[in-house]
Structure 1
């Protein structure tokens, strides 16, 4: 089953909760209205088990539907809202992201690491036509993004090893880094320059910059990021025009979080 990260023999482990979250997270942009059969195939659970979970989630108000098609309800948004309310980083980030967006005229985001993915925890969008559909809660693979590399460049070895061991390293575009050695080299470059730049690795035409945000203890807990299109600029021009300002704002956000270099 997807997402299993602890031993099922752990006496404190409640498998039914894991199964419930497996069903919830099986709803995505590719299949927002799955059938019971779709959810069973995605989670690896039996149809009767999925049906019981769906009926429970329906009574709790998190899904709606019947045995034909199911969909999430707006109540699931409250889960993410609780995260934002309980994490000072997301609240502190918004003014800095707004400054980045106003200065660059490009969308600005806060990313945090969750397993092998980066999750968008906050975002200030600008009106641009791009194929990548990003909103708070969107997940992207850490290995193919500037945000992931900026998060991992200063991460403990065990976290980096876990991401490498559990990432698919699929070639999402012709320029995606898919080799473990090349990925380690990319992380070293990020540490040396203080920020990450990726060009057309997650998707064709997407150029992105990310800079680390640290907490009071100096640990990298998030990244400030800014992205653009290859139709509007080049990677080197984006680096020259945006990287210094982005790093400055990430440093200011780190200071907001109590970090003193």
Structure 2
């Protein structure tokens, strides 16, 4: 199959030949959005050449797209005038998504109660195939900058929320996610082998929650419980995260698993 946009766990979508041949599919819009998507993993402003290369768009086409997006406020120059960054108009769409998403609306008061009782970091993530995307983040007393950002995403296969979600999928769906995931480890504790990931998913099916220990962040223990939609389809997960300097994994489970399961059940009942 011919592919013109590279997909990955950063959320970029795959444009296949069927979409390219679809008479209703507007490729110029797809190209513009793909140019915006090159910032997903950027750590600094990007030059025109860097955007063109990362997006697979010719320099001339990338220049036209950037000019248009800049005129509309979706891309802007950085302070030095040497590179480009996402523009403030992008935030308008973020707030639209958050305020109109019914799951986030009904989950928010439950999450606030959970944060009050847990006094540790509480997150709500949304399931997006190979990744889970944080849609709500209620912080504890110790957080790094990226851990405070709504919209940050992590792989499904190696996170507590992701495995809790996978526990509500079929074995075939679980195998598909594992096979398509980039299973490079975040730490030396990240579980990456397919059989071990499957075993963690089976354990989550039995307990009703998933636990990870230092698989994404060194020193962090995290517990996830799936949030379900109609027919038991997993929509996302609640996460509770703490520090191994204060909790053993067993004590963390004993303290927070009942709270997280109760909170997820409360959200499920509200749909």
TM-score, structure 2 normalization: 0.87
- 1-side partners of 2:240 and 2:82: how far apart? 41
110-119 or 41-50: which moved more? 41-50
**1:1-261 equivalent positions in 2, closer than 5 A:** 1-3=5-7, 4-10=13-19, 11-12=21-22, 13-28=25-40, 30-65=42-77, 68-130=82-144, 133-157=147-171, 159-257=173-271
Q: How many correspondences in the alignment?
A: 257
* 1:214 shift after superposition: 1.4
CA separation of 1:49 and 1:159: change in aligned 2, threshold 3 A = farther
Name the CA distance, whole Å, in 2 between partners of 1:122 and 1:17: 29
Tell me the CA shift for residue 64 of structure 1.
Answer: 0.9
Deviation of 1:157 after TM superposition, in Å, equals 4.8
Q: Deviations over 1:193-237 (max 9, x none)?
A: 000110000121121111111124322211111111112212111
Which segment is superposed worse, 221-230 or 27-36? Answer: 27-36
* In 2, Cα distance between equivalents of 1:248 and 1:131: 29
Q: Distance in 2 between matches of 1:28 and 1:215?
A: 28
Deviation of 1:177 after TM superposition, in Å, equals 1.0
Q: Residue 36 of structure 1 contacts residue 68 of structure 1 at CA under 8 Å; is this kept in 2? A: no
Unaligned runs of 5+ residues in structure 2 are 8-12
Contact 1:36 1:47 in 2 (8 A): yes
2:260 is paired with a residue whose SS is helix
Q: How does the TM-score come out when normalised to structure 1?
A: 0.90
Q: Distance in 1 between matches of 2:145 and 2:248?
A: 18
Distance 1:50 1:115, change over 3 A: farther
